[in-house]
Amino acid sequence: MSRTIDVPVDGMTCAACAARISRGLAKLDGVEEANVNFADHTAHLVVDPERVDLDEVAATIEKLGYGVACEIETLAGGDAPPVSDTLDEAAAAADRRVAEVFRRLVVAAVFAVPTVAISMVSALRFDGWEWVALVLSTPVVFYSGWEFHAAAARNLRHGTTTMDTLVSMGTLAAWTWSVVALTLVDGHVYFETAAAIVALILLGKWFEALATRRSGDAIRALAGLRARTARLVDGREVPVDELEVGDRFVVRPGEKIATDGVVVEGHSAVDTSMVTGEPVPVEVGPGDEVIGATINANGSLVVEATRVGADTTLAQIMKLVAEAQATTAPVQRLADRVAAVFVPAVLSIAAVTLVAWLATGHAADEAFTAAVAVLIIACPCALGLATPTAIMVGTGRGAQLGVIIKGGQVLEETRRIDVVVLDKTGTVTEGRMELVDTVVADGVDPATLARRAAAVEARSEHPIAAAVAAAVADPPPVTDFRNEPGRGVIGVVEGVEVRVGRRGLFDEVPAEVEQAASAAEEQGRTAVLAGWTVDGVARALGVLVVADRIKPTARQAVAALHDLGVRVVLLTGDNERTARAVGDAIGVDEVIAEVLPADKDAVVARLREQGHVVAMVGDGINDAPALARADLGIAVGTGTDVAMEASDLTIVSGDPLAVADAIALARRTLATIKGNLFWAFAYNTAAIPLAAAGLLDPMIAAAAMGFSSVFVVTNSLRLRRFAGYRPRSVSRGAAGRSPSPSPRPVRS
């Protein structure tokens, strides 16, 4: 069985580094897939544990000129480390990177500013200023710029080139030429150019490091939601990591629920917004499931742990998001191919530029300046950051909203979706029968009818009977209970013989009761007659209307999907009349009813054969084949693990409106990736000819190159403001930010 391992890599400075390590690792025996993410400095590997040699993995990374930022033996254990630990390590590494770049930047700024000032401002010059510029620029080039030179040397030993090669060659060429011009020939010096290039590129890298650090904040915030301790029912307080399945713990008002479990005592409202994105607290009582890290609002609860450690909902969300952030979108493949050949091409262009300027009679310093500008302007950092930063921010924002996107491939698929198939039960409806209405004959008290009917139905095991019984909190006692198979139930309540069931159970059914029952059935609901014996005649005195209640936001969800240009199909195994009633109520385009569970897959296959790109939304085990068959599978997280495993997107809450949020967010993320790639390509396409023509000073080129990377990362960070279609107090727990000022939908 394949296994995924993440190897932190030190020393990467550009997209070409990541691409080269990926190619090297992919050639190793036992490595089935290798994806090195420049944004999080991690090699994500899918390996065959029986064949892979992790020492060889580490040796390959080091042979390519990079380092492994952990003991490779720690990756050989059976289970992967907790996602939260990995996130902590990534955050620590990002902090170290920010500090290191800032330290070198400070040195560069202190020495580069006076170098540029005396070199560029005639009034500040004095006899021998060139020697002062040499002294000031040397620590900038060789200390602050050491990272570029060291990486370029490593790459040169292995016969490869990267962005560091361009920076190193450009700055060393400017500094060396200036030394030669100062000491051997009477020429123009470029000490200020070398110093300014290093300082400006480091400034861009510092902003880049800060922005990249922020891109992982959402998922790290999720990790920070975990409760640290749990108070057991015997009064002991233990670390959450020591909880076991079956342990019972107390949750007081205002406390976080320690782990996933089932309420065994107490009633309360639970704020689940940090996990599901839903702002409205959920009422819970004995028998209800609760999610770890959510907040108990106002009542004391006793909870029995059902999932602990890596099995909890929060841990699974973090794992899915971490895996998604490690993937490569297909759109990135073009950038990877370009990055792999880009640097050699730029070196060739710089050489041609130098020769062409000299051949056309220009001075050597002019030719040299143009060639250096080409080297500096062309650095492909922005290409390497375009996709991973957008995926990291987009999937992190999705996690805050209760939408789990499994990877880059999903982002591409959502762009083409034109049909969404909604499973009815559990997706559009609540998935459980409820008493939704009580209609009584003239002179009958509705409360009395409901109370007596609930008392009798409480003795039955039928699901419809359970719905009626659940509607009354404390029904009176029943005697002489008996079940009439196929007809209903009878019992004595409050001294009266009460009957609940079909029409055949009664001697008389008044016209008004018959009419109410028929009206309910026309709406696709179940009509249960209830009454009691009066003067020896069993009369139906009212109708209990039972239905699987449509979720409050289902109609809004369909409207939002229409707004996204998607056709909506309702798919259900229910009868045609019930399905049609639900479909009409929520406004779908088509209803496909009376479909056996095994045939849902066939319906999706048929839609695809007709040329549609299909998204399937479901929550049950019987939905799993259809979810896997669809171009995009969306699982409602309140459903089964099997459905979520088969899906591409997971909605943690049961709100169907989140389906529109998921599609809109995925489309927005893909659009951001494409925008990033466009500007990265356009920048280099436009800038290299300008540099070769001598229209860009190397210092300006260095500033533009650095800030192109900052632009790409900043553009990706705009995804943090995605609000979606659901009116909400957005992610209060996850993000710690103020509520969104407007529920107006944000679309791709």
Q: Return the percent helix, strand and coil in the chain, to nearest 5.
A: 55, 20, 30
CA neighbor of 208 nearest in space, from 272, 163, 256:
163
3-state DSSP assignment of residue 225: coil
Annotated catalytic, 423?
yes
- Any bridge partners for residue 3, and if so which? 47
What torsion, rounded to 10 degrees, do the Cα atoms 157, 158, 164, 166 define? 80
Rounded-to-integer distance, Cα 380 and Cα 377, Å: 9
DSSP 335-359: HHHHHHHHHHHHHHHHHHHHHHHHH
The dihedrals phi and psi of 460, each to the nearest 5 degrees, come to -95, 155
Give the containing element (helix H, strand E) for 31: strand 31-37
The identity of residue 622, as a single letter, is N
Rounded-to-integer distance, Cα 155 and Cα 19, Å: 13
Rounded-to-integer distance, Cα 461 and Cα 459, Å: 7
Task: Check: CB of residue 227 under 8 Å from CB of residue 242.
Answer: no
Burial of 714 (0-12, 13-18, 19+ CB in 10 A): middle
- List the end-to-end C-alpha distance of the chain, in Å, as a whole number: 38
Residue partners of 237: CB distance under 8 A and separation at least 6: 229, 230, 231
Q: Is 246 left (phi over 0), alpha (psi -120 to 50) or beta?
A: left
Q: How many helices (H) and strands (E) does the chain have?
A: 25, 26
What torsion, rounded to 10 degrees, do the Cα atoms 233, 236, 240, 243 define? -60
Instruction: Please say whether the dihedral angle defined by the alpha carbons of residues 401, 300, 309 and 240, taken in this order, is positive or negative.
Output: positive
Task: Check: CB of residue 214 under 8 Å from CB of residue 39.
Answer: no
Q: Please pick, among 40, 217, 423, 655, the residue that the annotation labels catalytic.
A: 423
Task: Check: CB of residue 694 under 8 Å from CB of residue 372.
Answer: no
Burial of 235 (0-12, 13-18, 19+ CB in 10 A): exposed
Alpha-helix runs per DSSP H in 158-190: 163-183
Q: Given the structure tokens 């000129």, which residue do they identify?
A: 65
Half-sphere exposure for 82 (CA within 13 Å, toward CB): 14
Kindly list the catalytic residues.
Answer: 423
